Every structure is written in C-alpha cells, then in structure tokens.
Amino acid sequence: MSHTINLTRRAAIALAAGLAALAAPAAAQDWPERPVTLVVPYGPGASNDTFTRALADILTQTKDQPFVVENRAGAGGFTGAKSVVDAEPDGYTFLEIPNSVVGFKPLMKVDLDPLEDLKPVGLLARAPTAMVVPASLGVDTVAEFIEHAKANPDSTFYGAAGIGTTQQQHAELFNQNTGLSLLPVNYKSSSDAQTDLIAGRLDVMFVTVASTLGQIESGQLKLLAYSDDNYPDSAPDAPTLAEEGVEGMDIAQIFWAVFAPAGTPDEIVGAMNDAINEALQDEDYADLMAKSGATPAPGEPEALTQVLMDEKKLVEDFLKLGLME
C-alpha cells in the first residue's frame, strides 16, 4: 500500500512540474489578458513620463489591452521603483526608469539593486552626454579645452546638479581619462548650473544636448563633443570625445529602460521586449525622443544587463574618489 502512495505522490509531483513548465509559455502566448501598468517613479511632464506614455499608447494599439501609466513619485524615484519590486511577477506591472536606478543602493543608501531586485526587459532610449562650454571661454575644440585646463588647474570648474548625479559622474570620468583635475561646483538644479555656465562662472558641463540646445543655437554655449555618436540626426553635429583623443567616454550616457519584478517568467519578459522593440520602430516615437536628445535603443534584455553593469562600474569608480563624504 505504501508503495502505491509513493508512486502516486511521485506522479503528482511530476505532473505538477510538467504543468508548471507548460504554464509560462502558455501565459506568454495569451499575454496580456488584462490591463498592464507601467510605473514611472517621477512626476508627469519630464522625459521619463513622456517616453512611457508614448510607449503605452503604441502598446495599447498593438497588444489590444490598455497599457496604463502610473506616476508614483517620491524619494528620488525609489518609491515607485520599490512598488514594482514588491509587485506580483505576473507580467502586469513594469517599471520605466533612467540611470538613477543604478545609484539607489550605492549612492542613496536604499535597498534596491536593479540586477538583483528587478528583471531587465529592455532599453527604450539612450542619449550621449554632451560636453559644452561658455562661448566666452574662447576654446573651440576639446584639445584647446584640455590645454586651458592644464594651464589653469586651480580655476577650471565644472557644474553639476548635485553630488553623485550623472553630470558629476561624467565630469569625473573625463578627469580620469584625461588626467585633469577639473573642480566640482554642485547646484540644486541643472538649470542653476547652466545659468552660471552661460555667465562664464563655470568652464564646462556634461549634459544632454537637449537641455542646452537653445543656448548652443544662440551662440551662448559651444558644443565641443559628444561621448558617443548615438545622437539624433536633428541634434547639432559634433565629434565624439574618442575622435578628439579622449578614449573611454562612450559609457557616459543617459538611458531610459524598462524592468519587471524579479521572478517574472522569461517568456513574458521576452514578449514585452518584442513589443517594445516593435514600438521603437515608430518614426513619431523616435521624433519624440529626439526632442530630449535621445535615440531609440532596441535590443535584447541582455543588452540592458550589460548597460547596467557598465553603469555600476561607473558609479563604483566615482565612489572611490571620496566625493560623497
């Protein structure tokens, strides 16, 4: 009798395992069967919100289910991101967030690691950082700026919108790759820093080209170079820093990406990744991104994982400088 019970239990376990193996592909095939929530952990109006709402509009059409954007702002993006970490990993809640997600744990000291607590789905867009200087500085190339900085080591300043921001990380990466010691000046906002840059009280900033486009076009600021060549066709043309002799700056990017709760089935992540990549072919969507100095970045989840690893190293190297102390 005991042998019969054991066989029955084994059969039940085997059956359950078989059903579980079949369930994920079946779920992905039918996904989505109800509305999907896209969480933006910031308020409405900025690029994260506009990119996600445009994506939601496209996916609502292509997937025949509503994709609903929810702004869950607070704690520098942590509040909304944590709500996705804690959500059911069933393919009905996703997070859209930029580079800042990598800095949550090491910089903000909050318990969220995107490589452990979330599941990468795919990149939406990337934007290279732009190296801009005031026209009054009198330099026209990166080489001339480096010469100026070497001649004035105690009075060459860069601006950044706060300690540990991507602006500061990218400026310090430039220091590292050139051997310079540009001095940081931190501000409450990027617009405050840019005001001083235009006035010549700062010597350089590393920003998205969209945030300084008006000042570049008016001649108040000069665009010396981009960190990489993935800038929109509509953006002002400029060489890359590598072309100007400064290697290793291509990782100085802003990115916008989509994540799922950890534990979300691979098949559903793949289905969402496919849907995003299809949406990124939309010309109107690309035009929207171009207004923020970004370009679509279709690819597999593994591509986002690599970007996260590069960004993590950038943050770790920044922390070694001791500027957060």
DSSP codes of every residue in 83-107: HHHTS-SSSSEEEEEETHHHHTTTT
SS3 of the chain: helix, strand, coil, percent, to 5: 45, 20, 35
- Indicate whether 246 belongs to any domain: no
Instruction: Please count the CA atoms within 13 angstroms of the CA of 310 that sit on its side-chain side.
Output: 17
Q: What are phi and psi of 79, to 5 degrees?
A: -60, -50
Q: What is residue 23's predicted lDDT score, i.e. its pLDDT?
A: 53
- Indicate whether 28 belongs to any domain: no
Domain end call among 176, 208, 226: 226
For the segment 169-228, what is each residue's pLDDT rounded down to a tens digit? 999 999 999 999 999 999 988 899 999 999 999 999 999 999 999 999 999 999 999 999
- CA gap 248, 228 in Å, rounded: 10
Does one domain contain both 196 and 50?
Answer: no
pLDDT interval class at 24 (50, 70, 90):
low
- Full domain range(s) for residue 287: 37-126+255-319
Domain end call among 226, 244, 275: 226
| Residue 310 CB contacts under 8 Å (≥ 6 apart), including other chains | 251
Give percent of the chain with pLDDT exceeding 70. Answer: 91
- CA gap 257, 94 in Å, rounded: 10
- CA gap 126, 231 in Å, rounded: 8
Residue 187, domain CATH: 3.40.190.10
Looking at the structure of the chain, the number of domains it has is 2
Does one domain contain both 183 and 264?
Answer: no
In this predicted model, which residue has the larger pLDDT, 190 or 54? 54
Q: What is residue 16's predicted lDDT score, i.e. its pLDDT?
A: 43
Angle, helices 209-218 vs 190-199, to 10°: value is: 30
- Indicate whether 158 belongs to any domain: yes
Q: What is residue 42's predicted lDDT score, i.e. its pLDDT?
A: 93
- Indicate whether 309 belongs to any domain: yes
